[in-house]
Each structure stands twice: as structure tokens, then as C-alpha cells.
Amino acid sequence: MVGFGLVSLATDVVSDGARPLAGPLLAQLGASALLVGLVTGGAEAAAQGLRLVFGPWADRTRKYWTFTVAGYALTAFCVPLLAFAPAAGAAGLVLASALIIGDRVGKAVRSPAKTVLLASAAKQVGRGRGFAVHKSLDLAGALLGPLIVAAVLAATGVISTAFAVLAIPAAMALALLLGLRRRAAVAGPGPAPETVPSTAGRPPSLFSGVFLLFAVCAFFWSAGLVAFGVISYHLTTAVTVPAPVVPLLYAAAMGAAALGALGSGFLYDRLGPGVLLALPVLIAAIPVLAFSTGVALVLAGVAIWGAATGIQDSTVKALVADLVPEPRQGSAYGVFAAFEGAGALAGGALYGALYGAAPALIAAVAALQAVALVLLLMTVRKARRA
């Protein structure tokens, strides 16, 4: 758990250091609010939806380490290359969009395989707690990355330089991961899922009714959870927040995400899946606050966005692991992420199209979260009975 946590920490310095600058970079290259929403929403859709491919693939081949290394490598290469987008002339916007999406594709490649390994290791301490501890290390990197980027921007004022500096933690992440892989090979077979033999006869059922219900619920909450690229676009164009300050706000959001992950994870082990009922409520509040013009309200919206993201990225995964047999968890995480990805793509288009019409946007997100809350209540009841 700790080894993967350190790798995730270094990787999130890279990925989340770049993430708050996606909106300002695309705006600098001439993108509209709608295009920013489509690119950032499409990136999140790729991060989630492509797991439908890579999760079952990892289960079939049992090569969880191969997928994990490949996914981390893709992020490590794509993000620093964003430094060259402003110098690419007319092709800069296309290049930046492709690299932003490529970073998130890397997450899709690695996440199902890595999460299966983590789910197996976390059984000994409680899955809610195990995922929360890993996520807290992960979010430490998500906090540190924006601080590094903000410092570089304050010193140079050049976005390209900020992206170039992220090549250093990218190299560190790959070195840590390869070292961890070598140690695992020397240690020999352990409890990792890739060493668990297939069950005799037919494989265990992947989809229970409650799992599918939970996945549909994830579509609705994801459609309302805006990508930070759209928030950062709003911060720099409507609230006139200086570009070096945006990564600091993102770092604050990651601090809130760590608290959300740890709090919900520990409560999950004590109280069960009912703690997730807070997620749609938090998401419904985001457009009300984050897209206002008052600084205090925007800061509150950013903090709530962070808390909701932390819960979605940690405690939600614990419930998936508890609903699905271990030999099929890679496939389950892939399918579940596909629902989240479809919701993220729909949400990116929604926020981009309704960006200038705040009342309609707020009403649309509230309606989506009302549906999510009803479905989540049904999920929690069925999960408790099961």
C-alpha cells in the first residue's frame, strides 16, 4: 500500500500539477468555454470509459503489473510535452488537447490493474481504510504538484516552463515504480490478485443487480461533477484570478479531497455504504458556489469540489470491491468507470453549453443529483441486505 502510495504521490505531482492549468492553457491557445468543457470532459471520459477495455484485458491476461507500468509511463510522457504546445503555432491547440486526453488515457490503462492489487492488499486493514490511506498519499502529490507549478509561474510567468519542470517528478515516479516491480518479482508470489488461480468451472458472476444499480448511479453523479478545467477557466476569465493563483486553489481542493477520502473511508468501515449518500448533495452545491463571481463563494465551491472528488476516488472503490468477486474486480472497475466516464463526457458538454446561463446549469445539476441520490439510496439498501 505504501509503495504504491509513493508512486501515486510522485505521479500526481505531475498530473495534478498540470490539471489546474488545462483551462488557462487552452484559453491561451484560443479555446472557447465549450471547447474547454469538451476537452476536459472528454479527458475524464477517457480516464473512466477506457477502463472498460483495460479492466477486462488485465483480468484475462493477469498481467496487472504490465498495465500499471504502461499507464504510469503514458502520464509521465504526456504532461511534460504540454510545454511545447504554445510553440506549435496553429497546431498548438490540437496538440494540447491530445496530450491532456493522453494523460487521462494513461490513468485508464493503469487504474483497474492497480486497484485490483490495492483491493487485495487492503483486505487486511479494511478496504475503506486501506483505500483512504492510499488516497491520502496520492492526494499529497496532488497538493504538492500545484504548489510547485504556482511557484514556477510566480517566478517565470510562463506556463510552458511550469509544464517542463514536471518532467522531474515524472522521472522519479517511473523509477519508484520500476523499483517496486523488481522487489515484487524478487519476493515471489504473494496475495496479489494476479497470482490467484482462476476458479474451477465457470467464472464467478461479475454483475449483480446492486452493482449495475450503483454503476448507473455513478453516471448521474459524474454528469454533475464538473472537471476542474472548466472551473479554472471561470476563475481566470470571469473572476480574473491570476494564473499563478489557480494552482494554489487546486492545491487547497486537494487538501479537501484528502479530508473527504480519509473521513468517508474510516466511516465506511464503521457505518457501511450509507456514508456515500453525502456525495450527490456535495456535487449539487458545486455550480451554485464555484461559478459565482464572489471570491468567498468560489473558494467554498472549490473546497466542496475537492471533497466530492476525494470520496469518488476512494470510498466509492471500496464499495465496488465489496460488491464483486475478487477474480472479476478488474473487469468490474472497468465497467464502473465506463459509466463514470460517460457521465463525465455528458457533464463536460453540459457545463460548456450552459456556462453562461447559471440558473439553468444549477437546475440541471440539481436534477441529475436528485436522480443519483434516489439510485444511491436503493443501492445502499440492497447492499446492506446482501
- Residue-wise pLDDT for 171-228, tens only, equals 999 999 898 788 766 554 443 444 433 434 444 455 568 888 999 999 999 999 987 8
Rounded to whole angstroms, the Cα distance separating 307 from 188 reads 38
Fold of the domain built from segment(s) 2-188+204-385: Growth Hormone; Chain: A; (1.20.1250)
288 burial (CB, 10 Å; 0-12 / 13-18 / 19+) is middle
Q: What is the pTM of this model?
A: 0.69
Q: Any idea where the domains of the chain sit in the sequence?
A: 2-188+204-385
Rounded to whole angstroms, the Cα distance separating 336 from 211 reads 8
Q: Which of 316, 16, 242 minimizes the C-alpha distance to 143? A: 16
User: In the numeric block, which cell numbers belong to residue 381?
Assistant: 439498501
Model pLDDT, residue 223: 92
Q: Helix (H, G, I), strand (E, B), or coil: what is residue 250?
A: helix
Residues of the chain with pLDDT below 50 are: 188-204
| CB 141 within 8 Å of CB 12 | yes
User: In the numeric block, which cell numbers belong to residue 109?
Assistant: 490503462
Q: Is the dihedral of CA 179, 183, 186, 188 positive or negative?
A: negative
Helix residue spans in 291-357 (DSSP H): 295-313, 315-323, 329-353
Model pLDDT, residue 191: 38
